[in-house]
Amino acid sequence: MSERTLVLIKPDGVKRGLIGDVIARVERKGLKVVAMDLRTLDADTAKAHYAEHSERPFFGELVEFITSGPLVAMVLEGPRAVEAFRALAGATDPVKSAPGTIRGDHALEIGENVVHGSDSPESAAREIKIFFPDRF
Ligand code: DAT
Ligand code: MG
């Protein structure tokens, strides 16, 4: 059974020239890119995307960071795509994410960890609707 997930290459990843690296890993794994767009988020869209974190002390920083420059939004499709991409991304804290993962290879700070991937099929459906409202 195929599944979809919403992936972001965050502004730090775009600034550092990691778009190609992330997409290469996704394609090498066998996940299919079924939608893709480069855009800069406004604050309202960022707050909607990260709504689950609205009470956390880092929420302001998170919204500021994710709106700080262009990001790449993608929808990936494949068997257990949510879990498959989270495995490619590595743990949230880049110091703890394994070498060989996107975050483990490219990041050091939790606030700037290169990529986002939905954490469940339900989150994926919600997030895909925010980024690609008319596509699926
Ligand atoms: P993930 O992106 O692995 O799903 P999350 O949903 O818990 O992680 O958090 C969303 C983002 O918020 C995360 O990628 C980076 C930031 N973040 C999480 N915990 C943080 C913290 N303790 N301090 C600063 N930023 C944090
Ligand atoms: Mg998350």
The finding on whether 116 has its CB within 6 A of some atom of ligand 1 is: yes
Q: How large is the greatest C-alpha to C-alpha distance in the chain, in angstroms? A: 38
Rg (CA), the chain: 14
> How does pLDDT run across 108-128, given as a tens digit for each residue?
999 999 999 999 999 999 999
Q: Which CATH number fits domain 2-40+70-131: 3.40.720.10, 3.30.70.1290, 3.40.50.720, 3.30.70.141?
A: 3.30.70.141
The pLDDT, as a whole number, for residue 94 is 94
Nearest CA to ligand 1 atom 16: 111
Q: Is 92 annotated as a binding residue?
A: yes
Domain boundaries, the chain: 2-40+70-131
> How does pLDDT run across 81-97, given as a tens digit for each residue?
999 999 999 999 999 99
Angle between helices 81-89 and 19-29 (to 10 degrees): 130
Q: Is 58 annotated as a binding residue?
A: yes
Cβ atoms of 77 and 3 closer than 8 Å: yes
The finding on whether 48 has its CB within 6 A of some atom of ligand 1 is: no
Q: How confident is the model at residue 24 (pLDDT cuts 50, 70, 90)?
A: very high
The residue-averaged pLDDT of 71-75 equals 98
**Assigned token pair, 95:** 């110091």
Q: What is the DSSP string of 35-87?
A: EEEEE---HHHHHHHTGGGTTSTTHHHHHHHHTSS-EEEEEEEEETHHHHHHH
From the list 85, 84, 75, the residue with the least C-alpha distance to 4 is: 75
Residue 1 reports pLDDT greater than 90? no
State the complex-level ipTM: 0.97
